[in-house]
Structure 1
Amino acid sequence: MMDFTKMIHRAGLLLLAVVAMLVPSLPAAAVDIEKVVSKGEIEAWLVRDTKNPIIAMQFAFEGGTERDPADKLGLAIMVASTMDEGAGNLDSQAFQGKLDENSITLSFNAGRDAFVGQLVTLRETKDTAFDLMRLALTQPRFDMEAVERIRGQLQTSLRRSQADPSYWAQLAFGYALFPNHPYGLPQRGFTETLAAITRDDLVQFARTRLSRQGLKVAVSGDITAKELAPLLDKLFGALPVKATLAPVADVTPAAQGKTILVPRPIPQTVMVLAHSGLDRSDPDWYAATIVNYVLGGGGFSSRLMDEVREKRGLTYGIGSSLQSFDHANLITVSGSTVNEKAAEAISVTKQIWGEVAKNGITEAELRDAQTYLTGSFPLQFTNNGAIAGLLLQVQRDDLGIDFLNKRNDLLNAVTISDVKRVADRLLDPEKLTTVLVGQPVGIEPTGTFVMQGQKIGIVGPEALLDQPK
């Protein structure tokens, strides 16, 4: 039976952790980032914060779901979902029990381009936390009970997703833009490809894909550089120097100007529009950020929200975003409307898109965007986990260790002529690929998205395009 005093103590630590995560960790002043390099030449960026006894670490390995074999889609996500289900001599129940009783959060996730892990621990339990993380990285068990349980959960989640129009929008959107590229394949795979994944596949992934090559590590909280340096070797030093990664080509989005329909018996139409965007390293990124904010990224301050929702009542919400991946770049718009007004909603969206492309924005819109984007930036430093996440993204985008301190200056340096030039370069309503899920009225699609088992494609004026199985 658990000692009552220990139980109260642990409950108090957990409450402290929750409260501390809600309290801003840093002021709006300059961010002091230390570059920490271990004896084994493993590098991490550290923001030290002693106000709360919490340490947050995030790390990323090169390669995500885009490198899954086509016949075993969902492999990276399945690995991420099972790595904390037992490690070393601890089975799933024992491993999770140690995390819970020490108020430790440890999780893994597979994105398009990276395999990411994160750890949050109290300083008092850091030794236990880092040891559990080391075991998960270097000695994951992948016991069959846990593997089959997680497989079942992932398959059930996929089946349930088919009732969600957003699932179909994402599926068709990826395929339409990237029909012959890994980005066009569903990250979570299909129930059939999940069923094909073996325990040996999970073991092989962990052995060959998780390496020190391209590893990025970010830490924020109550730990010194002197303490962190040897920890890096302890945590990551046993991993292989290089990973075995299938090559992935850069790609330009396809289906420019086409309208793809996903027929679903629902009263509303989900709409997603996109065309090529800008690479994160492009010098015009900051002007494009302002263009996007005014166009649709600024919520109720954006033109799309004003014109499509406020003035015409065609939607409850619509927004735009810049998306930069390792191998492709997009600018997208998403929203929904009733089926009967889908044609008008799409028409107005393209009209606003074209107006911003032709005329740019006003001086007032520029000032408002700069004020918001710079003034709200400190709100991203809400806790150590958020700070570690920012540090990790800056590393992955190769923006430099001083980026967080110069980011607002880069935005404030954008002029109205910069915005007009970039809007003209970036936005072209004629090239927008449109994906519609529902029963939109008054729209003639150029193709219809279909899925049969693992076979997906677009039929219509073009022949069925099959993904490799």
Structure 2
Amino acid sequence: MIRFLATLTLGLFIALPAKAAVEIEEVTSPGGITAWLVEEHSIPFAAIEIRFKGGGSLDAEGKRGATNLMMALLEEGTGDMDARDFAAAREALAASYEFDTYDDSITVSARFLTENRDESVELLRKALIEPSFTQDAIDRVRAQVLANIRSNAQDPRRIANRAFDAAAFGDHPYGSPLSGTLESVAALTRDDVVEAKARTMTRDRVYVGAVGDITAEELGTLLDDLLGDLPEEGAPLPDDVDFIPEGGVQVVPFNTPQSVAVFGHEGITRDDPDFFAAFVLNQILGAGGFASRLTEEVREKRGLTYGISTHLVPLDHAELYIGQVASANDRIAEAIEVVRDEWRRMAEEGVTEQELQDAITYLTGAYPLRFDGNGPIANILVGMQKEGLGIDYITTRNDKIEAVTQEDVARLAKRLLDPDGLYFVVVGQPEGLESTN
């Protein structure tokens, strides 16, 4: 996607000590908007993270890419300011705004100095409430989006991910790129952009996290000033969708000496009682870098790849357990067989006590490192709200990981891992592999 980034002096980002407790306060504005706040007054600076549930999945039928284009246009002018005027005003305030589009959300990230808070919030309010969406700006940003789509069409990894999503989800919004296609983006009008904003940027599905030099009372006023004029309700969310393929291989021919494979099957929901067992399992199987089983078997023992990884992906309307690997055309078939074998071994045998303890030690020890600044903490607060994790999640998360046992992982592995159900999309000129369906 196209990102319009503004920078802020790195010295303004504060880091919490690894053992520090993060005290979160729930704030409700006079107008009824809720946010989670961590006050930190040591530096006159604050970060606000705003997330609207829905994202690219709310594109109207036949308008794929409209939400992505709309979000990329928010810094392109408001009122009597064009893009250059807006950028100059933002820089004069030493403020930073980022606007992003994802499958299940659109996000707004703001960073500003305390002394310029009111002016920075007002400038952001104009971008959110009164964007110009001029035809010149639409044409210019559309050209950038189209260039990005063309570039992605020549990237084997992007091709593999796009083909995997299409096979996994079919006509559901998850089945197509949120940036749209050359045809859909070229056909978008200003009315489509305006409609995309009305469908996605509404008060009924907004989550806010704030961290830094701001009090609860000040945040309440800020929320109403910034978001109070947004529409109350947006478009209906899409239906849930099941993972379609039942295993197999899809080969996408592409002229390259190295094939890229994306693989996976149905995953696990974030609120499943066994999610933390799945989290630990994934660390051992494929997320643990050089310590993972797949890296050991595919890279270290056989030299089939430079890297392989797996990921739990609990989307709002579907769940995936996916991975990716790249290997020479004459070796990718062997790499795929090793992946299947390791999937089966984990499902049948579970994990060792040493693997379990090493994974738990890493996952619990690495967690405090995520709290390395106002912005990252604000983002974590928003994610916690959207996932329904509870305001005490930061203090209880490691306890839940440490409570996972060998038996938990073994039970979950038998339920989750399906070696015969793995679906592989291979982009390249793989030797010894043909599409099975």
Please indicate the TM-score interval, normalised by the length of the shorter structure. over 0.9
Alignment-derived partner of residue 358 in structure 2:
368
With the length of structure 1 as denominator, give the TM-score of the two structures: 0.90
Alignment-derived partner of residue 433 in structure 2:
443
Matched residues in 1 for 2:177 and 2:60: separation? 12
User: How far does the alpha carbon of each residue in 1:4-23 deviate from its partner, in whole angstroms, 9 at most, with x for none?
Assistant: xxxxxxxxxx87x31232x5
- 1:273 and 1:435 in contact (8 A); partners too: yes
- The gaps in structure 1 that reach 5 residues or longer are 1-13, 448-469
User: How far does the alpha carbon of each residue in 1:235-257 deviate from its partner, in whole angstroms, 9 at most, with x for none?
Assistant: 111112111x1441111111121
Matched residues in 1 for 2:233 and 2:105: separation? 15
The amino acid across from 1:302 in the alignment is S
Matched residues in 2 for 1:307 and 1:27: separation? 34
1:115 positional shift: 1.4
Matched residues in 2 for 1:192 and 1:410: separation? 47
Aligned ranges 1:284-363 → 2 under 5 Å: 284-363=274-353
Please state if 1:178 is matched with 2:169: yes
Alignment-derived partner of residue 407 in structure 2:
417
The amino acid across from 1:167 in the alignment is R
User: How far does the alpha carbon of each residue in 1:306-341 deviate from its partner, in whole angstroms, 9 at most, with x for none?
Assistant: 110011000000011100001000111111000000
Alignment-derived partner of residue 273 in structure 1:
263
1:73 positional shift: 1.1
The amino acid across from 2:52 in the alignment is F
Matched residues in 2 for 1:281 and 1:89: separation? 47
Aligned ranges 1:108-119 → 2 under 5 Å: 108-119=99-110
Which secondary structure does the structure 2 equivalent of 1:437 belong to? strand
Which secondary structure does the structure 2 equivalent of 1:340 belong to? coil
The total of aligned residue pairs comes to 431
Alignment-derived partner of residue 240 in structure 1:
231
User: How far does the alpha carbon of each residue in 1:218-266 deviate from its partner, in whole angstroms, 9 at most, with x for none?
Assistant: 11111111110111111111112111x1441111111121211111000
Matched residues in 1 for 2:60 and 2:252: separation? 26
Please state if 1:60 is matched with 2:51: yes
Distance verdict in 2 for CA 1:416–1:311, change over 3 Å: same
1:107 positional shift: 1.8
Which secondary structure does the structure 2 equivalent of 1:330 belong to? strand
1:278 positional shift: 0.5
Aligned ranges 1:44-123 → 2 under 5 Å: 44-123=35-114
1:283 positional shift: 1.1
Aligned ranges 1:154-303 → 2 under 5 Å: 154-243=145-234, 245-303=235-293
- 1:293 and 1:369 in contact (8 A); partners too: yes
User: How far does the alpha carbon of each residue in 1:426-455 deviate from its partner, in whole angstroms, 9 at most, with x for none?
Assistant: 1010000111000111112114xxxxxxxx
Matched residues in 2 for 1:52 and 1:258: separation? 55
User: How far does the alpha carbon of each residue in 1:75-101 deviate from its partner, in whole angstroms, 9 at most, with x for none?
Assistant: 110001001111133221111111122
1:206 positional shift: 2.2
1:179 positional shift: 1.3
Matched residues in 1 for 2:17 and 2:187: separation? 47
Which secondary structure does the structure 2 equivalent of 1:41 belong to? coil
- 1:25 and 1:51 in contact (8 A); partners too: no
Matched residues in 2 for 1:242 and 1:26: separation? 40
User: How far does the alpha carbon of each residue in 1:122-142 deviate from its partner, in whole angstroms, 9 at most, with x for none?
Assistant: 222211211111111110111
Distance verdict in 2 for CA 1:247–1:390, change over 3 Å: closer
1:25 positional shift: 3.4
Matched residues in 2 for 1:394 and 1:382: separation? 17
Q: Any runs of at least 4 consecutive aligned residues in structure 1 with deviations exceeding 6 A, and if so which?
A: none
Alignment-derived partner of residue 3 in structure 2:
none
The amino acid across from 1:389 in the alignment is N
Matched residues in 2 for 1:207 and 1:261: separation? 40
Matched residues in 2 for 1:335 and 1:318: separation? 5
Alignment-derived partner of residue 455 in structure 1:
none
Alignment-derived partner of residue 3 in structure 1:
none
Matched residues in 2 for 1:63 and 1:117: separation? 14
Matched residues in 2 for 1:38 and 1:175: separation? 42
Alignment-derived partner of residue 32 in structure 2:
41
- 2:27 and 2:36 in contact (8 A); partners too: yes
Matched residues in 2 for 1:373 and 1:387: separation? 18
- 2:76 and 2:132 in contact (8 A); partners too: yes
Matched residues in 2 for 1:172 and 1:253: separation? 14
- 2:64 and 2:185 in contact (8 A); partners too: yes
Alignment-derived partner of residue 385 in structure 1:
375
Matched residues in 1 for 2:261 and 2:319: separation? 19
- 1:25 and 1:49 in contact (8 A); partners too: no
- The gaps in structure 2 that reach 5 residues or longer are 1-6
1:186 positional shift: 1.5
Which secondary structure does the structure 1 equivalent of 2:50 belong to? strand
Alignment-derived partner of residue 10 in structure 1:
none
Matched residues in 2 for 1:52 and 1:446: separation? 59
The amino acid across from 1:261 in the alignment is V
Matched residues in 2 for 1:247 and 1:374: separation? 34
- 1:113 and 1:326 in contact (8 A); partners too: yes
Aligned ranges 1:1-40 → 2 under 5 Å: 17-21=9-13, 23-40=14-31
1:217 positional shift: 0.5
RMSD across aligned C-alpha pairs, in angstroms? Answer: 1.3
Alignment-derived partner of residue 4 in structure 2:
none
Which secondary structure does the structure 2 equivalent of 1:124 belong to? helix
